[in-house]
Amino acid sequence: MRILGQGRACGGISLLHAVGCGNGCAAPIDLWTHVSLTDEPLEISEDEHKLLQLLIDAWKARDLPLPDGNLGWEINSNIPIGMGLKSSSALLVAAMDALSQATGVMISDAVCCNILSAIQIQSGCSITGGRDDIVVCNNHSTILVDVYDEVACRIKRINMPPMEVFLIIRDLEKSKINIAEFENRKIQFEEIVLDLVSGDPLQAFSKNGQLVGEAIGDDDALAICEDIEVLTNGRAAISGSGPAIAVICQREENQKIIEHLKSRDLQFIHTRIHQHPELTLER
């Protein structure tokens, strides 16, 4: 088996849920998906929504070249799937990079975002298309995004401080979105945009988690987050539509957070906010 091209993309945690007001934002974390395009088909179990086949179909629909032969994919990832941690977007971004490397086709970030967003809507992975998730996975930076702008979706780069992240992994299905519940809170979500623009991403993170928890009726998540914030110096909020809960803290608070999570018998992953300079617009 030969590897024809490779790509990688990071996961992320939500600072602003895009369904709330049409703007979305996520912070990159040091969990990664690596994808290789191979010259032999391989059995993969990490692509429940058939995203990789949809990507190949979209590539062909644009008459872009593909290597000869029966192609396959190899995936290595430590991003939990179906938890609200941007695993689908990371898979697509990494696969797009692998295709670009294998074929020598350079695609701008804007076109890449449009292609992958359409795939996420087609597959049912995202209501809005997940442009905010695609941007964070691709650029490894915290960027406020207009998820309905197909030309220039970026609004502002956000300065996210270097902090530790604990991801509470709950054995639950991802919550179904009731759009009306988010629309009823549109004004509050728009206030989070102001927090982000004014340079307060941690406040945005906490407010967003509270609003999303209320919108999807996840009382358990709200109770866990309140418990953490009252008893430790950490910030806690649901990521995406859950079920994962992210806890952000300073490094010196690590042990206190670990002891708290263990005392509540909560399963967790310890990582951090990824720090990376903004990349160029060309892939």
Residues 119-133: tens digit of each pLDDT? 999 999 899 999 999
Cβ-based neighbour number of residue 207 at 10 Å: 19
Report the alpha-carbon distance of residue 179 to residue 185 in Å, rounded.
Answer: 10
Per domain, the residue ranges of the chain are 3-157, 164-272
pLDDT of residue 59: 95
pLDDT of residue 40: 85
Beta-sheet strands, E only, within 39-163: 72-77, 143-146, 154-157
DSSP tag of 168: E
> Which of 3.30.70.890, 3.20.20.80, 2.130.10.10, 3.40.50.2020 would CATH assign to domain 164-272?
3.30.70.890
pLDDT of residue 51: 95
Cβ-based neighbour number of residue 159 at 10 Å: 9
* Positions of the chain with pLDDT under 50: 278-283
- Max CA-CA distance within the chain? 58
* Cα atoms in the Cβ-side hemisphere of radius 13 Å centred on 199: 1
Angle separating helix axes 201-216 and 186-197, nearest 10 degrees: 160
pLDDT tens-digit series, residues 144-185: 999 998 877 888 999 999 999 999 999 998 888 999 999 999
Question: What topology is assigned to 3-157 in CATH?
Answer: Ribosomal Protein S5; domain 2 (3.30.230)
pLDDT of residue 277: 58
pLDDT of residue 242: 93
Q: Record the pTM.
A: 0.94
The secondary element (H helix, E strand) that includes residue 163 is: none
Angle separating helix axes 201-216 and 219-231, nearest 10 degrees: 150
What b-and-e string marks burial along 192-202, b requiring 16 or more CB atoms within 10 Å of the CB?
bbebbeeeebe
